[in-house]
Structures are given as C-alpha cells and as structure tokens.
Amino acid sequence: MTSEDLYRILLKVYPARYRRKYEQAMTQCFRDQLRAADTRGKRVRLWFRTIVDFALNVPARHLETPPRTPYPNAYGERARRAIYLARLEKGPFSYGEISLENLLLGALRSDEELTSALLGPHGMETLVTMVRAMETNKVVPRSPLLRWERGRRRRGPTLALDCKKALAKAQQEAHDSCTQVSSRHILLGILDQDTSLATRLLRERALDLSYLRSSSDPDTRRPNG
C-alpha cells in the first residue's frame, strides 16, 4: 500500500459532504507534498504533520453546520423566487446543473416590473425563446447506470459554478447596499460573469447597471431587520 492509498483511506473520516467537494483536491495536494518530500526524513516529517492536520481538522469539520448563506435571511422574497424558478426552468428531476441562463430567466420572471422596464412588453418572450433554443442544443450527460448520477437525479439539479459566482456577486452587491439580495442583485451578478450566454444576452439589450443599482426592490429589507 502506498502513502497515497493510506491517505485516501484516512480521508474517509471526514464528513461525506465535505469529502464530496474536497477529497480529490486534498489527495492531489498530498501527492504534491509527497513528490516534494524526496528523502525518508522529509516523508516522516510530512506524515507527522499530516496526522496533526487530521487531528485538528476532522473534529472541526464534523462540528460544522451544513452550509448556509452568511445570514439566514440574506435573500429577499423575489430572489428566493428567482432561484426557485431557475430550478423549475431546469426541471426538478433533470440531469445536469442549473445554468446561468436558467437563473437569468428565474430572475426576470420573479420581478415583472423590472422585466418590463428593462426589456419592454415583449422582451421577455423573445429572451425565453432564445434561451430555450440554446438549452436544447446543449449536450446533456446521460449515464444512468452510474451511482453518482442516480444520486444527483434524486437530489435534483444543483447550481453550476458560474451560477454560484453570480449569486456570490449578488450577495456582495446586496451587502454593499445594506439590503437583502433581490432579483436585481442577481441580474448584476449575472452581468458580472464574463463569458456566459446569459451575460451576452443582457449586454446586447444594453442593460443599464446604474438603473439596477439605483432602483430598489420594495420586498427587500435589511438582512437583520
């Protein structure tokens, strides 16, 4: 058994949720450390540090509560609805992840007043047609025999990485304006992403950032209020 095999076995003591996200990266990191430890003495010291690392961190990871937003009521009603609608756009039992385009449609659907101000009376329909056409052209992974894929199917779609980034940016915008996250903050978050189709669609419609920042969502309030 190699040192890396032993490390992989030791990683099983971390909580499953944490392992799902970081197991591969931690193993890769340990492998890099092993590569750098080119003498027996260095390898012994590495193992000693690794055992201490486990002793300090495993209990801490088990004691952590499940991931939450920085404060529980960080999202206003429309922002929560936007995410719910994005999930519906994807389909609750579909494969793959909720894309930025799904989030864009969710955000626009959750705030009709904002949508008509930004896109005009028929703008939404055009946007939906364009996004749906793009979605149907996407290649969706289908390998239902794999266990992890079945697990994903049971849990429903998760947020894609660029969606998470957009929501993080939305939280930052809301934090800067001292309010809950609104669907307008989510649009700002989407606009902040560089390469996505959703961002391009918004930019082509010459969305005014200052309008999004200055107009307030009446449903939001201070997070701790």
Partner 1 sequence: MTTLTPAVFHILLALADRDRHGYGIMLEIAERTNRQVQMGPGTLYGTLKRMLEGSLIEECDERIDPDLSDERRRYYRITQQGRRAAAAEAERLQALVRIARAKSVFRAA
What is the binding site for partner 1 (CB under 8 A)? 14, 18, 21-22, 25-26, 28-30, 32-33, 49-50, 52-54, 56-58, 60-61, 67-68, 70, 161, 164-165, 168, 171-172, 175
Shorter beta-carbon distance to partner 1: residue 71 or 93: 71
Q: What tokens were used for 103?
A: 């989030």
| Element at 98 (helix H, strand E) | strand 97-98
Shorter beta-carbon distance to partner 1: residue 70 or 121: 70
**100 closest CA partner among 130, 77, 131:** 131
* Strand, coil or helix: 92: coil
Shorter beta-carbon distance to partner 1: residue 55 or 145: 55
Shorter beta-carbon distance to partner 1: residue 101 or 173: 173
**182 closest CA partner among 106, 127, 98, 128:** 106
Burial (0-12, 13-18, 19+ Cβ within 10 Å), 83: buried
- Distance (Å) of CA 192 to CA 145, 165, 188, 212: 37, 9, 6, 13
Q: What tokens were used for 80?
A: 């929560």
Shorter beta-carbon distance to partner 1: residue 75 or 114: 75
The CB-of-164 to partner 1 minimum distance in angstroms stands at 8
Q: What tokens were used for 142?
A: 């289908």
**161 closest CA partner among 201, 188, 134, 196:** 196
The CB-of-33 to partner 1 minimum distance in angstroms stands at 8
CA dihedral 208, 209, 211, 215 (to 10 degrees): 150
The CB-of-132 to partner 1 minimum distance in angstroms stands at 27
The CB-of-80 to partner 1 minimum distance in angstroms stands at 18
Shorter beta-carbon distance to partner 1: residue 94 or 172: 172
Beta bridge partners, 159, equal 98
Shorter beta-carbon distance to partner 1: residue 32 or 208: 32
The CB-of-165 to partner 1 minimum distance in angstroms stands at 6
Q: What tokens were used for 170?
A: 């939305």
The CB-of-186 to partner 1 minimum distance in angstroms stands at 15
The CB-of-36 to partner 1 minimum distance in angstroms stands at 9
